[in-house]
Amino acid sequence: MGTYTYTSQPRALPCQRRRYRDNLMQPDDEPVRFGNIMYDRRVIRGNTYALQTLPLAGQQDPLELQRLQQAKRRALARKRAREQFRPRTPEPVEGRKHVDVQTELYLEEIADRIIEVDMECQTDAFLDRPPTPLFIPAKTGKDVATEILEGELFDFDLEVKPMLEVLVGKTIEQSLLEVMEEEELANLQASQNAYEELRNIELAEVQRLEEQERRHREEKERRKQQQWEVIHKHHETEQKIAAQAFAQRYLADLLPSVFGSLRDGGYFFDPIQRDIEIGFIPWLLNEVDKTMEHSMLGRTVLDMLIREVVERRLDMFEHKYPTPGNRSWQGSSGAMAGSVGPYEAQAPGTSPAQNSFLTKDYLPTPTPDKRSLERGLSQDGRGVEEGDPTVQSTEAGMKQTAELPDVWNSARP
Partner 1 sequence: MAHTRISMYQPPDINPTQAAIAYGCRALPKLNEELQSENLRMRQKALMALCDLMHDPEHVYQAIQIGCLESLKALLRDSNHLVRIKTTEVLCIMATHNIGREGFLKYNVVPFLALLLNDPQLLCRLNLHQAYKHLAQLPQGAQGIINSGLIPSLVWKLQREEDESVQLLILDTLSSCLWEGATTEALDNRVVPFLKEMLLSANEDIRAKAAHTLMAVCVPLDGKNQVWQYDVIPILVHMLKDPVQEVQANAAGALMYATVTTEGKYAALDAEAMAPLLMLLNSSLSKVRLNAIKVLTMLAEAPEGRCYLQAQVPVFRLLEDDPNPTVQRAALTAIKVIEWKP
Residues that bind partner 1 (CB under 8 A): 134-135, 193, 197-198, 200-201, 203-205, 207-208, 210-212, 215
The distance of closest approach from Cβ of residue 207 to partner 1 in the complex, given in angstroms and rounded to an integer, is 5
The distance of closest approach from Cβ of residue 141 to partner 1 in the complex, given in angstroms and rounded to an integer, is 16
The residue among 220 and 312 lying less far from partner 1, judged by its C-beta, is 220
The distance of closest approach from Cβ of residue 208 to partner 1 in the complex, given in angstroms and rounded to an integer, is 6
The residue among 219 and 308 lying less far from partner 1, judged by its C-beta, is 219
The residue among 207 and 225 lying less far from partner 1, judged by its C-beta, is 207
The distance of closest approach from Cβ of residue 201 to partner 1 in the complex, given in angstroms and rounded to an integer, is 6
Q: Which amino acid is at 256?
A: P
Distances, alpha carbon 108 to alpha carbons 101, 102, 105, 114, in Å: 11, 8, 9, 14
The residue among 155 and 181 lying less far from partner 1, judged by its C-beta, is 181
Closest CA to 380 of 293, 306, 288, 282: 293
The residue among 208 and 232 lying less far from partner 1, judged by its C-beta, is 208
The residue among 18 and 208 lying less far from partner 1, judged by its C-beta, is 208
Where residue 266 falls (left for φ over 0; alpha for ψ -120 to 50; beta otherwise) is left
Distances, alpha carbon 3 to alpha carbons 8, 51, 201, in Å: 16, 22, 84
The distance of closest approach from Cβ of residue 155 to partner 1 in the complex, given in angstroms and rounded to an integer, is 22
- Angle at 184 (CA atoms; ends 181, 189), nearest 5 degrees: 125
CA 131 – CA 257 distance, rounded (Å) = 150
The distance of closest approach from Cβ of residue 215 to partner 1 in the complex, given in angstroms and rounded to an integer, is 7
The distance of closest approach from Cβ of residue 139 to partner 1 in the complex, given in angstroms and rounded to an integer, is 14
The distance of closest approach from Cβ of residue 206 to partner 1 in the complex, given in angstroms and rounded to an integer, is 10
The distance of closest approach from Cβ of residue 153 to partner 1 in the complex, given in angstroms and rounded to an integer, is 15
The residue among 211 and 315 lying less far from partner 1, judged by its C-beta, is 211
CA 305 – CA 299 distance, rounded (Å) = 9
The residue among 205 and 344 lying less far from partner 1, judged by its C-beta, is 205
The distance of closest approach from Cβ of residue 197 to partner 1 in the complex, given in angstroms and rounded to an integer, is 5
The residue among 177 and 201 lying less far from partner 1, judged by its C-beta, is 201
The residue among 189 and 392 lying less far from partner 1, judged by its C-beta, is 189
The partner residues of 34 in beta bridges, in order of sequence, read 14
CA 348 – CA 397 distance, rounded (Å) = 10
Closest CA to 407 of 318, 346, 334: 334
